[in-house]
Amino acid sequence: MSALLSVHGVSKRFGGLQALSNVTFGVGHREIVGVIGPNGAGKTTLFNVITGVYAPDGGRVTLGGMDVTGWAPHRICRLGAARTFQIGKPFAALTVLQTVRIGSLNRIADMAGATTHALGVLEQVGLAAKRDVEGRHLTVIERKRLELARALATGPSLLLLDEVAAGLRPPEIQEMIALVRRIAAGGVSVLIIEHVLEAVMRLSARIVVLNYGEVIAEGSPESLVNDARVIEAYLGEAYSLA
């Protein structure tokens, strides 16, 4: 498997807190990989390092064979890795269409072309009816869909989803799972951080488990639910896949 994303020995420290230490894993072409771990395990920090928000203290991140360690976020986005934010960051005063079109302009230089493209993405995520609504007036699930649409519009080869199912009601979670599946089926690799285990377990072919900034286990969802380290760190006795 030639990796699309490869994270190699990445470490990141904030003052006295070792947020990530020696994290190594990869995401292959057309693969959906999940990252789970208890609160504070370093999941979002991992995303921030991969997408260039923070430069790691040590280690390398490569995307499509290119070393992108320490690159600015917009350059990483242009190269093909787009992320959503855990706390949705809608452009409050811009409409849904305007927001997604800014993403589309990442690959399409002219406004008319970008508008057409953005409308297509809105159709895909089921937000077409809300195209003229400003970001601040959206509901939680609409914000999550908008985040997804904005990221998707940038034309990524790798989509990084930060808690896209958190805060959603069960039927909405089902919709979100179906949506991510459709996107992946279109040839986009997905790296997904999720608290909603059902979502991540059902979506991911492979899961990386983080605890205290370290990878403590990696494998298929089925293998992990029986892994003692994972159960101890995160799952507890309450969760079972069956």
Partner 1 sequence: MSARLALGLAALAAAAAAPLVAGQHLLTAFIVALHAAYMALAWNVAAGYAGQFSLGHSLFYGIGAYASTMLYLKLGLTPWAGMFAGAGLAGLVGVALALGVYRYNVRGIFFALVTLGAAEVAKGLADNWDWIKGPVGILLTMKSAPGEFFFLRREPYYYVALAMVVALILISLRLERSRLGQHFLAVREDEAAAEASGVDTQRAKTVAIGLSAALTAFAGSFYAQFYLYISPDTVLVFEPQLTMMLGTMVGGAGTALGPVLGSVLFSGLGEALRNLPFENTRPIVIGSKLVYAILLIVILIYLPGGLVTLGRRSRPA
Question: What residue ranges bind partner 1 (CB under 8 A)?
Answer: 51-53, 72-75, 77-78, 82-83, 85, 89-94, 98, 101-103, 105-106, 109-111, 114, 134-135, 137, 150-151, 153-154
Considering the complex, state which of residue 87 and residue 241 has its C-beta at the smaller distance from partner 1.
87
Considering the complex, state which of residue 59 and residue 88 has its C-beta at the smaller distance from partner 1.
88
Considering the complex, state which of residue 60 and residue 78 has its C-beta at the smaller distance from partner 1.
78
122: left (phi over 0), alpha (psi -120 to 50) or beta: alpha
- How far apart are CB 175 and partner 1 at their closest, in Å? 23
- How far apart are CB 188 and partner 1 at their closest, in Å? 16
Considering the complex, state which of residue 97 and residue 209 has its C-beta at the smaller distance from partner 1.
97
Query: Reduced to 3 states, what is the DSSP secondary structure of residue 193?
Result: strand
- How far apart are CB 131 and partner 1 at their closest, in Å? 14
Distance from C-alpha of 220 to C-alpha of 239, rounded to nearest angstrom:
16
- How far apart are CB 132 and partner 1 at their closest, in Å? 10
Distance from C-alpha of 208 to C-alpha of 25, rounded to nearest angstrom:
8
Q: Is there a contact between 215 and 25 (Cβ–Cβ < 8 Å)?
A: yes
- How far apart are CB 117 and partner 1 at their closest, in Å? 13
- Tokens representing 69 are 């360690």
Instruction: Name the H helices within the chain.
Output: 43-50, 73-79, 96-104, 111-125, 140-153, 170-185, 197-203, 221-224, 228-230
Considering the complex, state which of residue 12 and residue 206 has its C-beta at the smaller distance from partner 1.
12
Q: Which amino acid is at 159?
A: L
